[in-house]
Amino acid sequence: MSSIMKIENLQAKIGDKQILKGLDLELEPGKVHAIMGPNGAGKSTLSKALVGHYDVELTGGDIIYKGKNINEMEAEERALEGIFLSFQHPVEIPGVNNAYFLRTALNAKRKHEGKEELNAAEFLRLMRDHLEMLGMKSDMISRSLNEGFSGGEKKRNEILQMLILEPEVIILDEIDSGLDIDALRAVSEGINKMKDGKRSFLVITHYSRILDYIEPDYIHVLKDGRIIKTAGPELVSQLEEHGYDAIEEE
């Protein structure tokens, strides 16, 4: 099957430090790809590189999304084209209303797709439905974006945005960090709801716990800036048992 995103020989640095050193990865439509790896392997740099984060400087290679090279594409354009990153640490933005922010983002996307924008009432209906599904309180509508949110609320809010924006490539950076079991279940439910056989997921994680809830199709081991092994879900138990050091490059 042709890939929705193809990453070829990607090299990237943050500041003076070369982090990605020739990373190859193909994301298939409708599949869940899990990236696992030790601390400092480059997992978060990869997610930042894919969404055009200002910290990351690409020094080589290509990111091909739906057949188009997006190396130079601005972050907002990547988002409009359907790439979504659920941040490991979502920022708090006091004074920006959560609902207003999300409606602005959704309408920007709808406009980009040539669809009619949603008015406030239509949007609120949509938001309320999703809030209920994620077990979020309705005061999330009027609160400032992520301000004073607990770790779990922030992650649920990321998933809420994902559900409403309906992206095509979903990158989940340490989505399980700081979540209790209930929150993890709700977040996973939201993610699983997005599986439609077309969307592609890139789940970046340290631990296998999240993979009990979101069943992966592929496991990729990222070490020292490169994917050193790709296998099926059975690789998870091997990693649990022997650790990353035991994995040899293919």
Partner 1 sequence: MNLLALKHKTLQELKTDLGIKNRDALLERFCTLGLPSKKSEAYRYFDIEKLLDYSYKTLNYIPKNPEVSEIIEIVDGVVVAAPKGMRIYNEACEQIDMDHFDPLYYLTHLLSPQTIKIELDGDTEVEIEHRFTQSGTLIDYRIVLYTQSNRHATVYENFISEEIENTLVLYGYDMHIAQDSTLRVVKMHSMQDDGYAMVASHKVNVAKNAHAMFKSFDVGKDLALQLLKVELDEYAHVDAGHLLYLNEDSKRGTVSQIVHVGEHSTSKQEAKNILDGKSRGIFDALIRVEHSAKYTKAEQNSKAILLHDDAYMVAKPQLEIYIDELEASHGATTGQLDRKQLFYLQSRGISYTEARKMLVIAFANTLIEQVKDTRQQERIKASFEEAFYKGNM
Contact footprint for partner 1 (CB under 8 A): 51, 53-54, 74-76, 78-80, 85, 87, 90-91, 93-96, 101-102, 104-105, 108-109, 112, 144, 161, 165
Q: Shortest gap between Cβ of 217 and partner 1 (angstroms)?
A: 25
- Judged by beta carbon, residue 71 or residue 104, the one nearer partner 1 is 104
Q: Shortest gap between Cβ of 97 and partner 1 (angstroms)?
A: 9
Q: Shortest gap between Cβ of 80 and partner 1 (angstroms)?
A: 4
- Judged by beta carbon, residue 105 or residue 231, the one nearer partner 1 is 105
> To 10 degrees, what angle do helices 151-165 and 120-133 make?
130
Find the farthest-apart pair of alpha carbons in the chain and give their distance in angstroms, rounded: 55
Torsion angle (degrees, nearest 10) of CA 154, 158, 159, 160: 90
Q: Shortest gap between Cβ of 234 and partner 1 (angstroms)?
A: 34
Q: What is the DSSP letter of 73?
A: -
- Judged by beta carbon, residue 81 or residue 211, the one nearer partner 1 is 81
Contact between 36 and 205 (Cβ < 8 Å):
yes
Q: What angle do CA 55, 178, 95 make, to 5 degrees?
A: 60
> What share of residues in the chain are helix, strand, coil (percent, to 5)?
35, 30, 35
CA distance linking residue 35 with residue 144, whole number of Å = 32
- Judged by beta carbon, residue 20 or residue 50, the one nearer partner 1 is 50
Q: Shortest gap between Cβ of 48 and partner 1 (angstroms)?
A: 10
Q: Are strands 200-205 and 32-36 parallel, antiparallel or unpaired?
A: parallel
- Judged by beta carbon, residue 89 or residue 242, the one nearer partner 1 is 89
